[in-house]
Protein backbone atom coordinates (compact mmCIF):
# COMPACT_ATOMS: atom_id res chain seq x y z
CA UNK A 1 0.00 0.00 0.00
CA UNK A 2 1.34 3.41 -0.97
CA UNK A 3 0.46 6.35 1.28
CA UNK A 4 0.71 9.85 -0.14
CA UNK A 5 0.51 12.70 2.32
CA UNK A 6 1.57 16.31 2.68
CA UNK A 7 3.69 16.80 5.77
CA UNK A 8 1.18 19.32 7.17
CA UNK A 9 -2.61 19.32 7.01
CA UNK A 10 -4.86 22.37 7.08
CA UNK A 11 -4.17 24.73 9.94
CA UNK A 12 -0.50 23.75 10.11
CA UNK A 13 -1.34 20.46 11.83
CA UNK A 14 1.45 17.94 11.23
CA UNK A 15 0.34 14.81 9.36
CA UNK A 16 3.08 12.76 11.01
CA UNK A 17 2.26 11.98 14.63
CA UNK A 18 3.78 9.71 17.24
CA UNK A 19 0.53 7.81 17.91
CA UNK A 20 -2.79 7.74 16.08
CA UNK A 21 -5.88 8.86 17.99
CA UNK A 22 -7.42 5.50 17.01
CA UNK A 23 -5.00 3.69 19.32
CA UNK A 24 -6.46 5.41 22.39
CA UNK A 25 -10.02 4.96 21.08
CA UNK A 26 -9.37 1.23 20.70
CA UNK A 27 -7.95 0.98 24.21
CA UNK A 28 -10.88 2.83 25.76
CA UNK A 29 -13.35 0.66 23.86
CA UNK A 30 -11.56 -2.53 24.91
CA UNK A 31 -10.70 -3.49 21.34
CA UNK A 32 -7.86 -5.98 20.82
CA UNK A 33 -6.37 -3.80 18.04
CA UNK A 34 -6.73 -0.17 16.99
CA UNK A 35 -9.69 0.58 14.70
CA UNK A 36 -7.80 1.76 11.63
CA UNK A 37 -8.28 0.88 7.96
CA UNK A 38 -4.61 0.34 7.17
CA UNK A 39 -1.94 -0.86 9.57
CA UNK A 40 1.63 0.41 9.40
CA UNK A 41 3.04 -2.96 8.39
CA UNK A 42 0.82 -2.87 5.29
CA UNK A 43 2.31 0.42 4.05
CA UNK A 44 5.13 -0.21 1.58
CA UNK A 45 5.83 3.40 0.50
CA UNK A 46 5.15 6.87 1.92
CA UNK A 47 5.30 9.75 -0.56
CA UNK A 48 5.46 13.35 0.65
CA UNK A 49 6.50 16.63 -0.92
CA UNK A 50 9.93 15.94 0.58
CA UNK A 51 10.54 12.50 -0.90
CA UNK A 52 9.72 8.80 -0.83
CA UNK A 53 10.26 6.36 2.02
CA UNK A 54 10.50 2.80 0.66
CA UNK A 55 9.36 1.18 3.89
CA UNK A 56 9.34 -2.35 2.50
CA UNK A 57 13.14 -2.10 2.20
CA UNK A 58 13.65 -1.04 5.82
CA UNK A 59 15.18 -3.49 8.26
CA UNK A 60 12.98 -3.31 11.33
CA UNK A 61 10.72 -0.78 12.99
CA UNK A 62 13.46 1.68 13.96
CA UNK A 63 14.70 1.96 10.40
CA UNK A 64 11.11 2.47 9.23
CA UNK A 65 10.83 5.32 11.76
CA UNK A 66 14.05 6.90 10.48
CA UNK A 67 12.85 6.62 6.88
CA UNK A 68 9.55 8.30 7.77
CA UNK A 69 11.37 11.07 9.64
CA UNK A 70 13.53 11.64 6.55
CA UNK A 71 10.44 12.51 4.45
CA UNK A 72 8.39 14.21 7.18
CA UNK A 73 9.73 17.70 6.46
CA UNK A 74 9.76 20.23 9.28
CA UNK A 75 7.08 18.44 11.29
CA UNK A 76 8.07 17.39 14.82
CA UNK A 77 8.76 13.86 13.51
CA UNK A 78 10.77 15.21 10.58
CA UNK A 79 12.92 17.36 12.84
CA UNK A 80 14.16 14.15 14.48
CA UNK A 81 15.84 13.06 11.24
CA UNK A 82 19.62 13.03 11.50
CA UNK A 83 21.40 14.12 8.31
CA UNK A 84 24.00 11.34 8.54
CA UNK A 85 21.32 8.65 8.99
CA UNK A 86 19.23 10.11 6.18
CA UNK A 87 22.27 10.13 3.88
CA UNK A 88 22.81 6.43 4.63
CA UNK A 89 19.13 5.64 3.97
CA UNK A 90 19.36 7.48 0.65
CA UNK A 91 22.55 5.63 -0.27
CA UNK A 92 20.82 2.30 0.43
CA UNK A 93 17.68 3.27 -1.54
CA UNK A 94 15.36 3.27 1.46
CA UNK A 95 14.70 6.99 1.07
CA UNK A 96 14.73 8.97 -2.17
CA UNK A 97 14.48 12.70 -2.59
CA UNK A 98 13.38 14.24 -5.91
CA UNK A 99 16.97 14.79 -7.05
CA UNK A 100 17.74 11.12 -6.34
CA UNK A 101 15.24 10.10 -9.03
CA UNK A 102 16.23 12.78 -11.54
CA UNK A 103 13.61 15.40 -10.68
CA UNK A 104 14.47 19.01 -9.91
CA UNK A 105 12.67 20.07 -6.72
CA UNK A 106 11.09 23.13 -8.34
CA UNK A 107 9.64 20.90 -11.06
CA UNK A 108 8.29 18.26 -8.67
CA UNK A 109 4.57 18.83 -9.13
CA UNK A 110 1.54 16.57 -9.41
CA UNK A 111 1.87 16.75 -13.20
CA UNK A 112 4.82 14.32 -12.94
CA UNK A 113 2.68 11.62 -11.34
CA UNK A 114 1.81 8.74 -13.63
CA UNK A 115 -1.79 8.55 -12.40
CA UNK A 116 -3.89 11.62 -12.88
CA UNK A 117 -7.09 10.27 -11.36
CA UNK A 118 -8.66 7.48 -9.35
CA UNK A 119 -10.01 6.17 -12.66
CA UNK A 120 -6.40 5.76 -13.87
CA UNK A 121 -5.55 3.74 -10.76
CA UNK A 122 -8.55 1.45 -11.27
CA UNK A 123 -7.70 0.93 -14.94
CA UNK A 124 -4.01 0.25 -14.29
CA UNK A 125 -4.85 -2.26 -11.56
CA UNK A 126 -6.95 -4.23 -14.01
CA UNK A 127 -9.99 -3.58 -11.83
CA UNK A 128 -8.35 -4.97 -8.67
CA UNK A 129 -8.44 -1.57 -6.97
CA UNK A 130 -11.97 -0.62 -5.99
CA UNK A 131 -11.99 2.82 -4.36
CA UNK A 132 -14.80 3.89 -2.05
CA UNK A 133 -17.73 5.49 -3.89
CA UNK A 134 -16.88 8.97 -2.57
CA UNK A 135 -13.62 8.87 -4.55
CA UNK A 136 -15.26 7.85 -7.83
CA UNK A 137 -15.94 10.65 -10.28
CA UNK A 138 -16.59 8.60 -13.42
What pLDDT is stored for residue 64 in this prediction? 93
Domain boundaries, the chain: 2-104, 108-138
pLDDT of residue 14: 78
Given a cut of 70, the residues of the chain with pLDDT beneath it are 1-2, 36-40, 42, 110, 113-114, 138
Give the pTM. Answer: 0.71
Given this model, what pLDDT does residue 1 score? 63
Residue 96: predicted pLDDT: 96
What per-residue confidence (pLDDT) applies to 59? 94
Torsion of CA 97, 98, 100, 104, to 10 degrees: -140
The confidence score (pLDDT) of residue 39 equals 61
Say what the pLDDT of residue 66 is. Answer: 96
- Residue-level pLDDT at 38: 63
Give the pLDDT confidence score for residue 138 in this predicted structure.
Answer: 65
CA angle 63, 66, 68 (to 5 degrees): 110
Distance (Å) of CA 43 to CA 3, 87, 135, 137? 7, 22, 20, 25
Cβ-contact 97, 53 below 8 angstroms: no
In the prediction, which pLDDT does 82 show?
A: 97
User: Which SS3 state, helix, strand or coil, does residue 88 take?
Assistant: helix
CB 52 within 8 A of CB 98: no
Asked whether 82 and 19 are in contact (CB, 8 A), the reply is no
Amino acid sequence: MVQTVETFQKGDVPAFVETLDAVEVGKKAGMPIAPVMIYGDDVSHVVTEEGIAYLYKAEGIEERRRALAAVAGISPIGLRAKPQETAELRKRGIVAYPEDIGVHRLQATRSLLAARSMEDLVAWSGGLYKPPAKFRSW
